[in-house]
A and B are shown apart, each in its own frame.
Chain A
Amino acid sequence: MSAAPEVVFAGTDGGAITDLAAYEAVGGLTALRRAREMTPEQIIAELDASSLRGRGGAFFPTGRKWSFVPKPDQNPRPHYLVVNADESEPGTFKDREIMLRVPFRFLEGCLIAARGIESQHVFVYIRGEYEHEWEILVSALEQLREAKLLGGVTIVLHRGAGAYICGEETALLESLEGRRGQPRTKPPFPAIAGLYASPTAVNNVESITTVTPIIEMGGAEYAKLGVEDSTGTRVFSLSGNVVRPGNYELPHGYPLRDLIHEVGGGIADGRTLKAVIPGGSSTPILTASEAEKVTLDFDSLSKAGSAIGSAAVIVLDDRCCMVQLGVRVSQFYEHESCGKCTPCRVGTRWLTHILQKIESGRGTHADLDLLLDVGDRINGTCLCPLGDSDAIAVASYVAKFREEFLQHIEEAGCPFHGASSLDGIVAPTDVHEAHVGPHEIHRPLEVVA
C-alpha cells in the first residue's frame, strides 16, 4: 500500500494536518503562490492538461467545466465557486476524510479554483451531519484569515440539514439559496445561471483538493498517473464485508480484486465474495466473477455495464440476500426523493412495495415483471438521476441475481430464512410508514360562518 503515490493525502503520513504552519512545512501554499502568478486561462489550461475529471460522481472534466463560466466582461454578474461537500451517496466517505486530514490543501484548492473562474466568493456546502468536519474547516479558515492569505476571496462555510438530494448540483444551489432542495431543469446550466442566477462552478471536495497538487506539480505530470481516460489518483471508499474497510488513495486503473483482497484484506469471517457495488449505491452491481476482472477506472467499469460513480466500493459476502438489498436500497431512494417529479416520487415507493412483497414471499412472477417494467418507466423520465438510480440499481440486482428473486417467488419466502446479513434491517421509511396509516376519512367540512 505504501507503494501507491499519495497526492491528495501527500505529506500527512496517515495523520491529519490541522495547523497552518505544519501544512506549510510540508510544502503547503506553494501552489497558491504559483497560481497567484498565473492568469485564470493558465490555471484552466493546467487543469485541462491534467485531465482531472470530477470526483463527485459525474466525472466531468474540471478544466472544461471552468471554461464554460463566462468571463466577467461577457457576464457582469458576480461569479461563484460552490463546493459540493454534501457527500451522501451510500458507501462514500472519502470527502469527509479529506476535510478531516487535509483541510488546508482543500481550502487552498478553493482559492486557486476561485482564481481560475475569476470568482471572489466561495461557498462550501457541507452536509449537516458532518459537524466535526465543519468545525475543522472553520478553524482552518480562521487560520488562513488571520494569516491574511485569503486574498480578498470570501469563503462561506454553509451547513446542510440532511437531504441526499442536495448533493445534486442544482438542488444544492436551490438549498443554498434558502429554498427546498429540489433540482432545476437544465438548461440553463449553472455555469451560466447557477447560484443567484449568476455564473457558477460547482465542484466536488476531492476535485478541488486535487487542484492544489495539480498546480504544484503541473497538469501534465499529474496526467502521468492513473490511466488514459481516468488520470491521477482517486480516494476509494472501501466498505462492507472486508477485513480492512477505509479510504484508500490509489491510482485510477487499480484492479478491483486487489483493492478487495490485498488492500482491504479480503472477505471477513472466512466468507466468500458474492457481489460488489463499485461506485456507490447508484451504480449497477457486479457479481464476484465480474468484480475479479475489472479495474477501477471509467472505461473498464463502463464496459462491465457499471460505473466508477463516487468511487465507493461496497463489498457483499454470501450472507447478503439480494432481494433484501433491493428493498433497503429502494427505501433509501424513496426516503430521499425530493418529490418534485412524478416518476421518482411515486415510482421509488412503488418499487419498494413490490420488492417487499417479493421478499415476504407473497410475490409472483408477474410481480417480478412489474418490478422491471415500473423501473423502466422511471429510468430516463425523471428530472434528475435520483429516480433513475433506484431503477438502475434494482434492475441490476434482478439481472445479476435473478435466480435469487425467483427462489423468493417459488419458495414463497426468503431462502436465507432469517440468516441474511440484511435481515430485519429497519429503514427510516419503515418507521414513517408505521405512522402514516390509513387515516379517518370523510370528516365533514366545517365552513366558518
Chain B
Amino acid sequence: MSDGVKVTIDDREIEVAKGTGLVETAEAAGIEIPVFCYEPRLGPAVGACRMCLVEVEGLPKLQAGCTLTAQDGMVVRTAATSKRAAEGQHGTLEFILVNHPLDCPVCDKGGECPLQDLTFRYGPGSTRMTFAKMTFDKPIPVSPLIALDRERCILCYRCTRFSSDVAEDDQLIARNRGAYSEIATFGEDPYRAPFSGNVIELCPVGALTSTQYRFEARPWEIQDVPTVCGLCPAGCNIRATTREGAVKRVQSRNHPEIDGGWLCDKGRFTYPHLRAEDRVGEPLQRGPLGLEPVAWDAALDRAEELLRGARGTIVTALSGSETNEIAYGLGVLLRRGLGAHSAVLDESTSAALDAFRAPLSTIGDAELVVIVGDDDVVDRAPAVDLWLRKARRGGAEIVTVGARGSVPAPVGGAADALRELTDPAHDLGKRLRASERAVLVWSGPGGGGGARLAEAAHKLGFDGKPGCAAFHLPATPNPRGVSEAWAAAADGDESDPEPIGLLVVSGDEAAGSPDVRALAEQAEAVIAITMFHSLAVGWADLVLPATASLEREGTSMNLEGRLQRLRRTVISPVPDELAWLSKLAARFDAELSPHAAVVFEELSERIYGGLRLEQLGEHAALPARAAYVAPEPSRAPGAEAAQRAEGHFVGTLRLLRYTPLFSGHQVERVAELQFQRPEEEIALSSGDAGRRGISTGDVVTVRSNGTSVELRARVDRKLVEGVARVADEHAADLHAEVEVVKA
C-alpha cells in the first residue's frame, strides 16, 4: 500500500490505510482497545469515557486511543502489554462501577452488556467504595417506547449525541453538570421523534431499554434472524430477535450503504402487529349471516368458483408490499392461469432510473441535493432523511422544491420544477450539471414513478458520474419488484374490464386504499388477501389471511433498485401465500412452486439474469448502473397541471393530503406507538391563517362539497400559500378544494 502507515501495537506490526483510527487499527491486528463512548457514526471521537486509555511511545500521559489516528511509526501499548494502560482502564471501570447499581439480575442488558464484558476483561473484581451510591427514581419513561434507568447510566453521551448530531431532534439531552448530570427530555415531554429507538441500541448499559422488550428474554434464550424491513421502500437491514416462535424485538443489522446501522421507530417497534387481536387467522367466506370462517379447502373451492365465474373480467389490486415471489405467484395464477392481465398498483418506480442507480449512502457524501415533491422524505423513506442530514452536516446544500420547500412550488408542481431545472439557463440546474456529487430525489406522487426524474437526471448529465444519483421514493415498500414480477409471470396485454366481475385485492395497503375500495364497490365480487379483519369486513366476499413481511421468505427490491433477501423470522399463524397460491394455480393448470426459493429461481431466469439467491448474501450488493433508456413520455402532457387547482374558487385552499410515517394498519395496532401518531390537525401558511384570523391551536371547520371535518389548526411557516395540509387519515372524504373557517 503506497498510502499505508505502519503501526506497532503490543509488539505486533500492522499496516493500515492512512487515516484509519487507532481502534480499528488495533482491531485489524486482532487486538482489542475497549471503548464505551466511541462510535464513529456519531461524529468525531470525543474521548469522554476514558475506557480506551493506551500508552503511546513518546507521550508521557496515557492517551484516549479512540481519538487517535494511526501514524507511521507509532508504537502503542494496550492493557495487554502495558501495566499503566491496564491500570488506567481498570481505573475507568472502577469509577464507572462506583455508582453503578448491581442490577444485572433484573436488567435487560445482562448477557449482552459491554459493561459486564469489559469489567470481566479489564475491571475490578470487587469494590473499594464504601459510601452510598447515588440513587434515582427508576425507571423513567422517556417515552412509551423507551425506559430510562439513571442509576445505570454511565454518561457516555452516546444517546444525547445521537439526538443532537445524527437525528438532529435535540430532544434527549443531558441536564445539570458533573456528578449530578442526568439524561432527560424536556419536562414531562416524551422523546417523540422518528428515530428515538436507536438510543436503545447505542446505550452500552441497561440505562435506555425498550419497554416492549422489557423482561421478555435473556440473550441465551433467543435466536436472531437476519432479514430486511418490509415497511418502507428503503429496505433497511434488520435482525429479528425471536423467542419460542415469537418476534420479541427488531434491531438494526447495519447495511452501511442503505441504513448505516440506524432504524426508524416504525421499523423497530411495529412487530407487535403480528399478534394483533383482529388478525385474520382463517379464511372467511361471505354467507347469509356475513363473513364466516371456513376451512382452507372450502375457501380454495370458493376462490376457484369466483375466479372461473369472472374469467375475462378480473382485476387485481396490488399493494406494493408483496414479496417478488408472491407477486409472481399472483401473476402465475391470474395471468397465466386465467388470462387476467389487469392490475392496479398505486405507484411504481421507473426502470429508467437504473442509469442513475447508487447506494443511498451516496446522498451522505453529496455536495448538492435537490428534492422535488410535496411529501417529506421522512414520511416516505426515513433512512433517506438521515442521509440528508449527514450530507448537510458535511457541508452539502439541500434544496427542497415543493409546498413546504426552501423553494416554494405549487402542489403537484414537481414535474414542472424538474423541467425548469433542466433549462440550460437555470442557475440551480447549472450547478447540478457542474457537480460531481449531486443527487436528485423525487418525494411525492406522480411523475411517472421517477420517469420524469430519470429524464431530468439524463439531461443534467448525471450519466457516468458515480457521485451523481437520482432516487424516486415510492409510497409502498416494493412496488417495482411487485410490478416487474407480476409482468414476468406471463405475456399478454392489459385490458380494462368494464364492469369488473371480480376484484382480487392483494395486501392491506390495497385493502385500505379509498381508490381500491371504490373499485370494490363497482365489482361484482371481491377476494381480499388481508391481515386484519377491520380492513375488508363489509365488502369482501372471500377473505384469505395474509402473512406479515417478518413471516416471509422471499426477495424484494428497494428504492435503490437493490434486490434483497427476506428470511422468515417466525412461522406465521396462517399458511404462507405461496402455499395456497400454488394449489390454486394448479387448478388452472398453471405451475407454481410453494417454495419461495424455487419461485425465485424461475423469476430470476426471467428478469434477474439468473442471479442465485445465495449471491444476494447477508448484505446484498447494488448492481452496476445500466445504460440510460428513455422512459415512456408523460402520457397526458399537462396531466400534472391538470392535477392542480381545478375549479379553484376564491377563498378556497388546495388540500394537500399526506401519509405520515406513523400511520398505516400496522402502526395503528401497536399500543406503544400511539403517541407518535399524527395530531388531528390542519396546517396552514402564515398568510392564509392570518387572513382567516386563525392561530395555532384554534379549532377550525374544513369544508368541501358535502363534507366537513373539524380539526385543530397549526400555522406552518414553511407552507406555501393557498395550500392546507392534512394527514390522509384525518381528511376523510374532503375534496381537493376546501374552505377553512374558525369553528
Contacts and interface: CB of A to CB of B under 8 A. Distances in A.
Nearest to A370: B128
B345 interface: no
A346 B50 contact: no
B99 A346 contact: yes
A297 to B, nearest CB: 24
A182 to B, nearest CB: 8
A354 to B, nearest CB: 8
B501 interface: no
29 contacts: A185-B45, A185-B64, A185-B67, A337-B178, A338-B178, A340-B157, A341-B50, A342-B49, A342-B50, A342-B155, A343-B50, A343-B92, A345-B179, A345-B181, A346-B98, A346-B179, A353-B131, A377-B88, A377-B95, A381-B50, A383-B50, A436-B134, A439-B135, A439-B137, A441-B136, A445-B141, A447-B141, A448-B141, A449-B671
A372 to B, nearest CB: 13
Contacts of B99: 346
B87 A163 contact: no
A350 interface: yes
B178 A335 contact: yes
B136 A343 contact: no
B174 A180 contact: yes
A304 to B, nearest CB: 21
A163 B178 CA distance: 11
Contacts of B131: 350, 353
Interface in B365-409: none
A447 B671 contact: yes
A383 B214 contact: no
Given A338-B177, A381-B61, A443-B138, 13 more contacts: A184-B46, A185-B67, A334-B178, A338-B178, A339-B174, A340-B48, A342-B95, A345-B155, A381-B88, A438-B132, A445-B141, A446-B141, A448-B671
A230 interface: no
Contacts of B147: 445
A339 B67 contact: no
A334 B179 contact: yes
A336 to B, nearest CB: 7
B91 A343 contact: yes
A337 B48 contact: no
Contacts of A278: none
A347 interface: yes
Given A438-B135, A441-B137, A337 B177 contact: yes
A439 B136 contact: yes
Interface in B1-54: 45-51, 53
A447 B671 CA distance: 9
A349 B179 contact: yes
Contacts of A442: 138
Interface string B141-175: 10010010000001101000000000000000010
Q: Interface residues of B toward A: which range?
A: 35 or more
A348 interface: yes
Given A185-B64, A443-B138, A448 B674 contact: yes
B675 interface: yes
B674 to A, nearest CB: 7
B129 interface: yes
B211 interface: yes
A5 interface: no
A11 B131 CA distance: 57
Contact of B155 (A339, A380, A382, A383): A339
Secondary structure at chain A's binding surface: helix, strand, loop or mixed? loop
A440 B50 contact: no
Contacts of B87: 377
Contacts of B157: 340
Interface string A343-387: 101111110010000000000000000100000010011110000
B672 interface: yes
B435 to A, nearest CB: 21
A383 B62 contact: no
A336 B176 CA distance: 11
Contact of B95 (A343, A439, A440, A441): A343
A432 interface: yes
Contacts of A347: 95
Q: Interface residues of A toward B: which range?
A: 35 or more
A345 B92 CA distance: 11
B406 to A, nearest CB: 23
B94 interface: yes
B672 A436 contact: no
A336 B178 contact: yes
Contacts of A346: 95-96, 98-99, 179
B179 A381 contact: no
B256 interface: no
A342 B178 contact: no
Interface string B172-202: 0010111111000000000000000000000
A350 B47 contact: no
A183 to B, nearest CB: 10
Contacts of B137: 439-441, 443
A347 B138 CA distance: 24
Contacts of B49: 341-342
Contacts of A381: 50, 53, 61-62, 88, 91-92
Rank and list the top 7 A-B pairs by shortest CB-CB distance, nearest first: A377-B91, A337-B178, A339-B181, A346-B95, A448-B144, A185-B47, A339-B178
A341 B178 CA distance: 9
B497 interface: no
A322 to B, nearest CB: 22
A69 to B, nearest CB: 21
A180 B49 CA distance: 17
A238 to B, nearest CB: 30
A164 B629 CA distance: 65
B139 interface: yes
B214 A163 contact: no
Nearest to A446: B141
B97 to A, nearest CB: 9
A173 to B, nearest CB: 15
Interface string B422-443: 0000000000000000000000
Residue among A185, A336, A353 with max Cβ neighbours from chain B (10 Å)? A185
Nearest to A380: B61
Contacts of A184: 46
Contacts of A343: 50, 91-92, 95
A440 B67 CA distance: 39
Given A345-B155, A350-B129, A383-B50, A445 B139 contact: yes
Contact of A380 (B51, B62, B92, B177): B62
A436 B139 CA distance: 17
A298 B554 CA distance: 74
Interface in B66-97: 67, 87-88, 91-92, 94-96
Contacts of B177: 163, 180, 337-339
Nearest to B51: A342
Contacts of B45: 185
A447 to B, nearest CB: 5
A337 B179 contact: yes
A335 B241 CA distance: 44
Interface string A419-440: 0000000000000100010111
B283 to A, nearest CB: 31
A438 B67 CA distance: 37
Contacts of A349: 178-179
A58 to B, nearest CB: 16
Nearest to A448: B144
